[in-house]
């Protein structure tokens, strides 16, 4: 670096450091712009993740069904679920449906995993409590209303099935067995005593079932079998989900995967619109920032017209003056970009905590993007006032006109 | 003595106003001229034309044998940067640069900045110990001396001073005039624009302007005497 370059840096730094009060005003304009830009960038890129998590409150978005006749085996379920990354997979709930009678009225009973069901159906509202022990049941509101069941009641579920030579009758009390006089076949009315821990209210078809644990469902039917359906909640975009679903269906896993289009399609639409909105807001902010910085820089440069006139009187060419003033602007833009990146993260964090109630993901790549944008915007904002300022007539300026 | 500068039939017209009206003037190398006159007489216009910061409406400016009146703005800037040192009434120092940096700015635009040379220029005007002070930390007289050091740093052929003592007290005025005497003794040409008779009368030659015309141009008979008294 020769003496000329060193003097150039010395002048630029002296202007920035020794004119602190003026430069702080300009820096403030750049920092505010860079903060909002950086914050919106982070929100823009974090919206899909945040919204995917929010959309999970709408319930499952992927369903596993048996690939043919029969049921989903637990080991196939494990293989199918493993196709989604553990970060994306919020949870899954297997369902086993059985016909039963309560108070001699036919009711569909669903065996589920009470520990995981709220992950796939977070909208369930329970009056009372979620069953935590075997022998406890959750009754759908419509069933409860039609059968007059209340929270805290004890009920008996009866499952009727034909006893064949393959049926293990060792645990069946003899009074549950009877023979149909017409057909001569033996049937069993197997009973299961249940305590109603809560009433389920969803406003949907879920209210038409009673829910027991998978273990109680097996005890009621005296048979171990797979699942009829499995609901999965996956925090991922529709395209990504479709890809994984195709992959599962193309593999030899013994189940069939489907997207819940009603949920995934609306998620995708809302997300696209939300991202477009953030993009437009970011663009508008960028333009406003440029105007704001340009206005500030115009004021800062205008008050230095006399200095520009002096430099010209000392023999400075317009290109030298533009280079000096632009460098000041670019340093200001870079410095403002660094500060704005840090503040932007906290701004995005604040917005995320208040809107999505979760923290934002820090993306280091956005820092150089913010700094580059800040330098570019400040450079452009400086260019216009500098170009007009260098046209000053040194003789007039130095005379104070 | 050879001519450094010649103004031939120079006129400068602003609308209906003739700021300079068919002015002819020549400055020899090493000569010290005072251009005097009341406000509005055309002193500043003449200074701007001599300093290559303005062009005449008509006429020729010959500097060191070269006609510069038709040169482009850029060429004029390069020309005055290389040949002329400017001293202003308002000093016009860059307020965020210290004294030595203000001198180095002139070097920066001329050729290559050199802090040692800049300090020597400040030493010449008696300000080496104030080299690291900002203009706001210097008195008016000290600021004017920095301005003179800046004008001298590139060894110009002509020092052009516009009311150099206009903002100074008597003590500082004497210091500045002593520096001019020294420069003249060393062979530097000086053109000092002033309306102060005391400043004008220490010059070798006094040119009086009125209404854009030279009304008198005569040698200062007491010049040699004054030089001897002061030095």
Which chain B residues are within 8 Å of A2, Cβ to Cβ? Answer: 112
Tell me, what DSSP letter sits at residue B165? Answer: T
What does the mean pLDDT of chain B come to? Answer: 89
The tens digit of pLDDT for each residue in B157-212 reads 999 999 888 888 888 888 889 999 999 998 999 999 998 888 888 999 999 999 99
Any CB–CB contact under 8 A between B86 and chain A? yes
Query: What is the pLDDT at residue A214?
Result: 93
First-to-last alpha carbon distance for chain A, in angstroms, is 39
Cα→Cα distances A278→A98, A240, A274, A293, A375, Å = 48, 22, 6, 22, 22
- Chain B nearest-CA distance from A12, in A, is 10
Cα→Cα distances A15→A32, A165, A272, B18, Å = 22, 99, 46, 41
Q: How far apart are CA B43 and CA A387, in angstroms?
A: 31
Query: What is the pLDDT at residue A282?
Result: 83
- Chain B nearest-CA distance from A29, in A, is 22
Of B80, B92, B97, nearest to A14 by CB-CB distance is: B97
Any CB–CB contact under 8 A between B130 and chain A? no
Low-confidence residues in chain A, pLDDT < 70:
397-401
Nearest alpha-carbon partner for A210 in A194, A226, A231: A194
Q: How far apart are CA A233 and CA A251, in angstroms?
A: 21
For the cut 90, the answer to whether the pLDDT of residue B136 exceeds it is yes
For the cut 50, the answer to whether the pLDDT of residue B231 exceeds it is no
Of A15, A307, A315, nearest to B81 by CB-CB distance is: A315
Tell me, what DSSP letter sits at residue A359? Answer: P
The tens digit of pLDDT for each residue in A223-280 reads 888 999 999 998 887 888 889 999 999 887 888 999 888 777 787 788 888 888 888 9
ipTM here:
0.88
Question: In CATH terms, is domain B30-56+72-230 a member of 3.30.590.10?
Answer: no
Query: What is the pLDDT at residue B84?
Result: 92
Contact across the interface for A3 and B113, Cβ inside 8 Å = yes
Q: How confident is the model at residue B226 (pLDDT cuts 50, 70, 90)?
A: low
Q: How far apart are CA A264 and CA A60, in angstroms?
A: 9
Q: Quick check: B51 and B127 in contact, CB under 8 A?
A: no
Half-sphere exposure of B85 (CA within 13 A, CB side): 24
Domain ranges of chain B: 30-56+72-230
The tens digit of pLDDT for each residue in B46-105 reads 988 998 888 899 999 999 888 988 888 888 888 888 899 999 888 899 999 999 999 999
Contact across the interface for A14 and B81, Cβ inside 8 Å = no
Contact across the interface for B77 and A400, Cβ inside 8 Å = no
Contact across the interface for A317 and B51, Cβ inside 8 Å = no
Query: Among all residues of chain A, which has the CA nearest to that of B153?
Result: A314
First-to-last alpha carbon distance for chain B, in angstroms, is 23
Of A7, A15, A19, nearest to B113 by CB-CB distance is: A7
Of B96, B104, B114, nearest to A19 by CB-CB distance is: B96
Taking each helix axis from N to C end, the angle separating B170-185 and B140-152, rounded to the nearest 10 degrees, works out to 20
């Amino acid at each position: 670096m020769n003496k000329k370059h060193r003097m150039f840096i010395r002048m630029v730094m002296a202007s920035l450091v020794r004119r602190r009060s003026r430069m702080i005003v300009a820096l403030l304009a750049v920092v505010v712009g860079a903060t909002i830009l950086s914050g919106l960038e982070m929100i823009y890129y974090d919206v899909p993740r945040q919204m995917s998590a929010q959309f999970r409150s709408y319930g499952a978005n992927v369903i596993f069904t048996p690939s043919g006749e029969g049921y989903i085996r637990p080991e196939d379920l494990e293989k199918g679920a493993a196709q989604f990354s553990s970060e994306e997979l919020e949870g899954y709930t297997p369902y086993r449906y059985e016909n039963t009678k309560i108070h001699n009225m036919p009711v569909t009973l669903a065996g589920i995993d009470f520990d995981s069901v709220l992950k796939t159906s977070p909208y369930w509202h329970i009056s009372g409590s979620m069953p935590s022990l075997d022998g406890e049941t959750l009754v759908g509101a419509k069933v409860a209303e039609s059968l007059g069941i209340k929270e805290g009641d004890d009920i008996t579920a009866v499952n009727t099935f034909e006893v064949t030579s393959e049926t293990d009758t060792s645990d069946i009390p003899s009074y549950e067995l009877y023979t149909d006089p017409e057909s001569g076949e033996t049937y069993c009315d197997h009973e299961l005593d249940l305590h109603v821990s809560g009433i389920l209210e969803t406003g949907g078809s879920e209210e038409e079932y009673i829910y027991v644990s998978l273990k109680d469902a097996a005890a009621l039917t005296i048979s171990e079998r797979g699942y009829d359906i499995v609901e999965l909640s996956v925090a991922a975009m529709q395209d990504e989900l479709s890809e994984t679903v195709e992959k599962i269906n193309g593999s030899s896993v013994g189940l069939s995967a489907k997207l819940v289009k009603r949920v995934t399609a609306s998620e995708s639409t809302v997300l696209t619109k939300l991202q477009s909105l953030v993009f437009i807001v970011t663009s508008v902010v960028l333009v406003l920032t440029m105007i704001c910085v340009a206005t500030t820089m115009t004021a800062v440069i205008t008050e230095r017209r006399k200095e520009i006139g002096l430099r010209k009187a000392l023999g400075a060419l317009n290109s030298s003056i533009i280079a000096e003033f632009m460098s000041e602007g670019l340093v200001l833009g870079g410095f403002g970009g660094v500060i704005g990146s840090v503040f932007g993260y906290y701004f995005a964090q604040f917005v995320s905590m208040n809107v999505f109630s979760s923290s934002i993901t820090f993306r280091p790549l956005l820092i150089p993007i913010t700094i580059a944008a800040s330098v570019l915007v400040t450079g452009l904002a400086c260019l216009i006032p500098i170009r007009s300022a260098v046209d000053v007539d040194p003789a007039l300026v130095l005379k104070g006109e | 003595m050879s001519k450094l500068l010649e103004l031939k039939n120079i006129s400068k017209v602003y609308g209906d106003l003739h700021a300079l009206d068919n002015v002819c003037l020549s400055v020899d190398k090493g000569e010290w001229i005072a251009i005097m006159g009341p406000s509005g007489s055309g002193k500043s216009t003449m200074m701007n034309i001599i300093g290559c910061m303005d062009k005449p409406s008509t006429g020729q400016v010959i500097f060191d044998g070269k006609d510069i009146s038709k040169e482009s703005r850029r060429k004029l800037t390069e020309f005055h940067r290389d040949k002329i040192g400017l001293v202003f009434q308002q000093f016009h120092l860059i307020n965020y640069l210290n004294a030595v940096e203000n001198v180095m700015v002139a070097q920066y635009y001329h050729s290559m900045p050199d802090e040692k040379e800049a300090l020597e220029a400040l030493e010449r005007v008696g300000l080496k110990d104030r080299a690291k002070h900002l203009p706001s930390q210097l008195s008016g007289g000290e600021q004017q001396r920095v301005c003179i050091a800046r004008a001298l740093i590139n060894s110009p052929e002509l020092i052009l001073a516009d009311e150099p003592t206009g903002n100074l007290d008597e003590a500082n005025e004497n210091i500045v005039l002593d520096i001019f005497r020294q420069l003249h003794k060393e062979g530097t040409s000086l053109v000092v624009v002033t309306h102060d008779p005391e400043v004008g009368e220490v010059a070798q030659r006094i040119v009086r302007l009125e209404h854009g015309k030279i009304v008198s141009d005569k040698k200062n008979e007491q010049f040699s005497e004054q030089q001897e008294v002061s030095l």
